[in-house]
């Protein structure tokens, strides 16, 4: 089997473009698709993705695909980098052109609103025999695109699929581990965005490093609480796709979720804060889905609850921290 793969990238946002760049620089044949043909025209003409990755040069070897069929034709791997809430519709449209042997790698981080399904579950509803791998971890696109050292994990029910993707994606600057806990990897990548919103709100209100550290640490507890209930391996949350991704998302200004939270903490309405960011803020919709999941499963997730209520105007951000601080006393190690 050749080490050179034909890879289609569905979605020309920041992370899809960054990974396309990583893969083409490794020598793979890569085509990238966007629903916005004008964006592709601009990328083709300028060899840059100015909206999402300004200043990053796209090599001539990276081809633009103007249809899903063109992006996926003959592909060994198809990487989906579309927002979580758009994944079902885009994957359903793309599945018509999906070869049975093609591996699907999804990098979106979220829980589908309404159904409350993880994205692997969505994919299998649409196409039950899909060969599905999820990629997650502390990996800001702005750094991946500039070839700064980054480490992620890929997870699949079938370890052989994860190993094949590991080999295809790994480089001297993009290290890839494997994992078989798809539920844990997906939930870690999704739920950390909620905590990052909270960390940003705390920063925006000037509450300092102590408060943010507490939010992050207790946020891991909430991730473990929901994850354990939904069948995840608790050790996954101590790894790259749990605490690793949480750290980078809560502390970096590359993080849309943290930046959005800062604006909310400074007094901006959540809807206006999202508009100011100008890109998808996954934590906003994930907070709603996770809050609904917690209620459905009867799980206590006070940080998630507060962030949900702040987003929906049911709680003023100024009262969220006192509410959390004044909760009843308990043992730190008590997960449930």
Percent of the chain past pLDDT 90, that is, above it, reads 93
166-197 pLDDT, tens digit per residue, is 999 999 999 999 999 999 999 999 999 999 99
Q: Residues 294, 306: contact at Cβ < 8 Å?
A: no
Phi and psi at residue 78, to the nearest 5°: -120, 120
| Neighbour-count burial of 316, counting CB atoms closer than 10 A to its CB (0-12 exposed, 13-18 middle, 19+ buried) | exposed
Show the domains of the chain with their CATH numbers. Answer: 6-180 (3.40.50.720), 183-325 (1.10.1040.10)
83-94 pLDDT, tens digit per residue, is 999 999 999 999
Which of the following is catalytic: 5, 192, 212, 309? Answer: 192
Position 132 pLDDT exceeds 50 = yes
Position 146 pLDDT exceeds 50 = yes
Q: What pLDDT, on a 0 to 100 scale, did the predictor assign at position 335? A: 78
Position 23 pLDDT exceeds 90 = yes
Rounded average pLDDT over 24-28: 97
48-58 pLDDT, tens digit per residue, is 999 999 999 99
State the pLDDT confidence band at 1, using cuts at 50, 70 and 90.
very low
Q: What pLDDT, on a 0 to 100 scale, did the predictor assign at position 320? A: 84
Rounded average pLDDT over 202-212: 94
Q: How far apart are CA 142 and CA 227, in angstroms?
A: 29
Position 285 pLDDT exceeds 70 = yes
Output the six-digit token pair for 56.
């990053």
305-322 pLDDT, tens digit per residue, is 999 999 999 998 888 877
Q: What pLDDT, on a 0 to 100 scale, did the predictor assign at position 318? A: 85
Q: How far apart are CA 183 and CA 327, in angstroms?
A: 30
Position 154 pLDDT exceeds 70 = yes
Q: What pLDDT, on a 0 to 100 scale, did the predictor assign at position 2? A: 60
Position 328 pLDDT exceeds 90 = no
Helix or strand or coil: residue 12?
A: coil
Q: How far apart are CA 316 and CA 309, in angstroms?
A: 8
Q: What pLDDT, on a 0 to 100 scale, did the predictor assign at position 126? A: 98
Q: What pLDDT, on a 0 to 100 scale, did the predictor assign at position 78? A: 98
Q: Give yes or no: 192 in active site.
A: yes
Its pTM stands at 0.95
Helix (H) or strand (E) holding 212: helix 208-229
Position 156 pLDDT exceeds 90 = yes
């Amino acid at each position: 089997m050749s080490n050179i793969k034909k890879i289609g990238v569905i979605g020309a946002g920041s992370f899809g473009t960054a990974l396309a760049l990583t893969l083409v620089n490794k020598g793979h044949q890569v085509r990238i698709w966007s629903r916005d043909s004008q964006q592709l025209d601009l990328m083709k003409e300028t060899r840059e993705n100015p909206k999402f990755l300004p200043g990053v040069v796209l090599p001539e070897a990276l081809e633009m695909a103007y249809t899903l069929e063109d992006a996926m034709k003959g592909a060994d791997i198809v990487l989906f980098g579309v927002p979580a809430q758009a994944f079902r519709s885009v994957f359903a449209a793309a599945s018509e052109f999906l070869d049975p042997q093609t591996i699907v790698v999804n990098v979106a981080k979220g829980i589908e609103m309404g159904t409350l399904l993880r994205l692997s579950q969505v994919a299998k509803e649409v196409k039950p025999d899909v060969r599905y791998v999820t990629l997650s971890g502390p990996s800001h696109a702005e750094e991946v695109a500039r070839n700064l050292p980054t480490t992620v994990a890929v997870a699949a029910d079938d370890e052989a699929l994860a190993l094949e993707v590991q080999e295809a994606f790994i480089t001297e600057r993009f290290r890839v581990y494997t994992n078989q806990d798809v539920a844990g990897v997906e939930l870690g990548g999704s739920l950390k965005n909620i905590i990052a919103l909270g960390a940003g709100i705390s920063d925006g209100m000037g509450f300092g490093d102590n408060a943010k550290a507490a939010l992050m640490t207790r946020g891991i507890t909430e991730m473990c609480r929901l994850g354990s209930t939904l069948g995840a391996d608790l050790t996954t949350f101590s790894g790259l796709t749990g605490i690793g991704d949480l750290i980078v998302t809560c502390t970096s200004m590359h993080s849309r979720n943290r930046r959005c939270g800062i604006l909310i903490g400074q007094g901006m309405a959540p809807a206006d804060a999202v508009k100011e960011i100008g890109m998808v803020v996954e934590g906003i919709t994930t907070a709603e889905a996770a809050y609904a999941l917690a209620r459905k499963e009867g799980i206590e997730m006070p940080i998630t609850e507060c962030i949900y209520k702040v987003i929906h105007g049911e709680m003023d951000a100024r009262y969220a921290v006192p509410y959390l601080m004044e909760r009843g006393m308990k043992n730190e190690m008590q997960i449930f």
